[in-house]
Amino acid sequence: MADGLRFEGRRVTVEPGDTVASALYRADVRTFTRSLKYHRRRGLWCVTGDCPNCMVNVDGDPGVRACMTDARDGQVVVRESGWPSAERDLLHVTDRLHRFLPVGFYSKTFIRPRFVWGLAERAIRRATGVGHLPIGRPASARPARALHVDLLVVGGGVAGLAAAAEAAAAGSRVVLVEERRLGATAWDARVRERIQTLAAEARAAGAEILEHHTAVGLYEGPFVPVVGPAEVLHVEAGRVVAATGAVEAHAVFPGNDLPGVFLARGAALLSIRHGVAPGRRAVVVATTDEGRASAAALRSAGMEVLIHDGPVIAAEGNGRILAVTLGTPSGRERITCDTLVLSLGWAPRDALLRMGTDQEVAGAGDVAIPGCSLEEAEASGRRAANGHDEAPSDVPTVPVGDEGYVCLCEDVSLHDLQQAWDEGWRSSEILKRYTTATMGPCQGAVCGRLLAAFAGARADAVATAGARTTSRPPARPLVLEDLAAGVDEMIEQRTSLHDRHLGLGARMERSGSWSRPTTFDAIDEEIRAVRHRAGLMDVGTLGKFLVAGRDAAELLDRVFPIRVRDLGPGRSRYLVALDEAGYVIDDGLLAALDHGRFYLCTTSGRAPAMEAWLRDWIDRWGLHVHLLDQTAQLGAILVAGPKARAILGRLTGDDVSAEALPHMRHADITVADVPCRAVRVGFVGEVGYELHHDRSRGPALYDALLEAGQVEGAQPFGLGALDVLRLEKAHLYLGQDTLPDDHPAKLGLEWAVAMDKPDFIGKRALERMGALPLERTLVGLRIDGEPRRGVPLLVGGRVVGRVTSCARSEAARGTIALGWVRAVDGSFPTELIAGHAVATVVPTPFYDPEGARLRV
């Protein structure tokens, strides 16, 4: 491996301790980016990760802050703004066209003719942006780890480490997170020494210090997501101490964004820590002690330094600063220089603090007392550990000149803000949204106060108009993998027959959260098997509940619109479940067991909702009911077809004849040595036995049924065949054939509702709706064309309905469908157009309308 990193075709030396920024600067790179809109040259400015100026592409990752990234041999670094290059950027012409591209111009121009916006938008997108996504790179999963701590300290400076040491010594479980290496942004040797000592004290007391971990937000709890190199931590803290420090204040004057303008801490870091002089001749404008100290440090590093304590009027230069005009008591003075260093005040990094206004979050150090001394910072940290909440100091804003860039990230100048204000956008929040100021990578860290001060200072502004805009996560840029850490999309539910299905060659599909077989071989064959011989289907996904206790019958009678009291043991009834508005929320079956217990079956996927629904009523009515969700505990296999009884007969000694076990009855039997609750059902329109059994016995039962069924020509079948079989009987699929405001009358299910019962949930709603004419109904259709589900139904060119289920049916000899239609002029149409075909309303079921097949 050759020495150095690779930068746009050149080799750049990497000295020990270098960041990408310091290594490039030493190699005479001065322009790091081109600004977002106007493509102005931008160079190192804060050098502490607070501004967007140094964002480059490192090893394929776009938007990496060069000043925050350790330089390594072999790194590949490329600048990503400017076309064709950052040095020679033809799009710089937009800066000259500033007049024609006022703030918000894309909301006002390129609107007519309409096609122009398409072209303009593409051009604008290509010209802006901070980098190129590594689209070819495969996404990698980042694990999330939950961490429970008493105190989370954010920031590994003097204040944060003091807080961690203090709290750990008192016995708290403490974790401190620091986004760099400890001491990386300290240029003063005294500060670095203190950091090392405090870190040792904290560790000795039991605090855990995590370097290269960045806190990105603060949520209720407090809950703080922290992004580390290998995983994302989800920290639940009893308290949080934010010791995130402060960045020097941004000053607004003409030329304030020229390369060569530095914040004092940045200049000192570059010069003292990395041994790279920012320039040869510097003017240091400092009103703070630290600013003056950094001037002395720059001088002792060999730079020619002029110190000024007063305002900056303007900076001039062409792509690089050449001179600065300062305000003096006697007027103005213009001084040539190649570096301008500013320390005019502080902007506390209070993004996290401000997210935690309602939480147990305290500030310590610079963020609470900007510009405090080393000793004050440490004391403040120890106070914060002991529960003291520092009231943030009032931070005086730096006076603003006549012109200059306010938001560096989004290229919003003072002139732009004034123009927006003149147009009528008159508060910090609305100015933010209109001009996009504070919406860039720095999220207002640099310019937030200036935006608020701008709005607040305007003579006609209302009091709240000058408030700081709301601080929201993330506080630092995130990659999508960080956001996705810990998310699980593909949670799959399986029956105990899952592996058997795979062994039989089933093609599986996701049906809600369940994995279910679509088909084992050919859907048409499976349909024929069920109609002429027998089919076996895994219906273990059904919702199943045991309802017991002295008020069980009372609960079911009050909640469901069916007569429960006359359901004797051994009998079952089709059940439609209604909500209080009378709308259908589920359907299934209620079977009466012995001893006043009931067995309730619901559609697959709705068991959790049914459990919540019933528990709500049990709770509100104070009933004594035992409700046990047995959906997972029990499997169920359907044996259906003319030969179903014969197959069962081979495997059981119990009487499963038509007399002993007729339609809509159930009995406890033993099949192939497996105890089962056999429920006679007719969902597919043939004699059917649903065998409900303990989940663990499922595979053995299935094997026995398959083997016994072979002689009779039985086949396993899946959802593909089920769809057609049930459609031939016009049995609905909830959610597919039903709409959320379907009540039983609209679905032809009045027969399932006992309106003569004194009361049930939804009865009054049904009475109200029953007095109104029916405006929509579900109908059966024959279509003389290709089956297409979802196609609208038309009468006279107007849409009056939709096809909800559709299939070609051999048994019904043609294409059959279910669909809903609206009443037209008081009656329901019988001839409609579905796509290019004619759809005729016909009576249902399409197959065996008398139900004779079930009474065999």
Partner 1 sequence: MFEIRRTLVGVVTASAGAGALDGLVVPGRAFGCRTADDELMLLSVPQVTDEVVREVSTRLATLDPDALVIDTTDGWAAITVAGGGARSSFGLLSRLELPDAGFTQGEVVHVPAKVIADDEQVLILAPSMWEAHLLDRVTKALGATGRLETREWRVPTP
Partner 2 sequence: MSLLVPCPRCGLRPQEEFTFGGELRALPSPDVEDFARVYLRENAPGPQRERWYHASGCRRWVTLTRDTVTNRIEPGVTPSGG
Kindly tell me the sign of the dihedral angle through the C-alpha atoms of 439, 444, 447, 450: positive
Tell me which of 9, 622, 773, 796 binds partner 2, using CB under 8 A. 622
Q: Does 768 bind partner 2 (CB under 8 A)?
A: yes
CB of 218 to partner 2, least distance (A): 9
Binding span for partner 1 by CB under 8 A among 285-293, 348-356, 623-631, 794-802: 623-631
Q: Does 495 bind partner 1 (CB under 8 A)?
A: yes
Q: Does 516 bind partner 1 (CB under 8 A)?
A: no
Nearer to partner 1, 655 or 703 (CB): 703
Nearer to partner 2, 486 or 748 (CB): 486
Which CB contacts under 8 angstroms, 24+ apart, belong to 580-583?
580/761, 580/762, 580/765, 581/741, 581/762, 581/765, 582/743, 582/744, 582/762, 582/763, 582/765, 582/766, 582/768, 582/769, 583/740, 583/741, 583/742, 583/743, 583/762
Tell me which of 608, 662, 790, 849 binds partner 2, using CB under 8 A. 608
Q: Which helix H or strand E contains 407, and what residues bound it?
A: strand 405-407
Q: What is the dihedral angle through the alpha carbons of 554, 558, 561, 562, rounded to the nearest 10 degrees? A: 10
Binding span for partner 1 by CB under 8 A among 241-249, 400-408, 466-474, 622-630: 622-630
Nearer to partner 1, 394 or 488 (CB): 488
Strands (E), 630-749: 634-640, 666-671, 674-681, 688-694, 715-716
List all residues 6 or more positions away from 612 whose beta carbon is below 8 Å from its beta carbon.
none
Nearer to partner 1, 582 or 698 (CB): 698
Tell me which of 70, 403, 694, 707 binds partner 1, using CB under 8 A. 694
- Residue closest to 847 by CA, chosen among 725, 748, 733, 761: 725
Nearer to partner 2, 582 or 688 (CB): 582
CB of 488 to partner 1, least distance (A): 5
CB 775 within 8 A of CB 827: no
Q: Does 765 bind partner 2 (CB under 8 A)?
A: yes
Nearer to partner 1, 380 or 496 (CB): 496
Q: Which helix H or strand E contains 362, and what residues bound it?
A: strand 361-363
The binder of 631, among partner 2, partner 1, none, by C-beta within 5 to 8 A per type, is partner 1
CB of 721 to partner 1, least distance (A): 23
The binder of 493, among partner 1, partner 2, none, by C-beta within 5 to 8 A per type, is partner 1
Distance, in Å, from the CA atom of 547 to the CA atom of 556, rounded to the nearest integer, reads 9
Nearer to partner 1, 205 or 627 (CB): 627
Query: Count of residues binding partner 1 (CB under 8 A)?
Result: 34
Tell me which of 127, 352, 546, 761 binds partner 2, using CB under 8 A. 761
Q: Does 234 bind partner 1 (CB under 8 A)?
A: yes
User: Taking CB under 8 A as the rule, which mask of x and - marks residues 205-224 in contact with partner 2?
Assistant: --------------xxx-x-
CB of 679 to partner 1, least distance (A): 18
CB of 612 to partner 2, least distance (A): 5
- Residue closest to 485 by CA, chosen among 235, 209, 178, 179: 235
Q: Give the DSSP per-residue string, 442-502.
A: TTTTTTHHHHHHHHHHSTT--GGGGSPPPP-S-SS---HHHHHTT------B--TTHHHHH
Distance, in Å, from the CA atom of 85 to the CA atom of 91, rounded to the nearest integer, reads 10
**3-state class (DSSP) for residue 429:** helix
Tell me which of 148, 334, 472, 507 binds partner 1, using CB under 8 A. 148
Q: Which helix H or strand E contains 317, and what residues bound it?
A: strand 312-317
CB of 589 to partner 1, least distance (A): 20
The binder of 479, among partner 1, partner 2, none, by C-beta within 5 to 8 A per type, is none
Q: Residues, the chain, total?
A: 856
Chain contacts with partner 2 (rule: CB under 8 A)? 219-221, 223, 358, 580-581, 608, 611-612, 615-616, 619-622, 759, 761, 764-765, 768
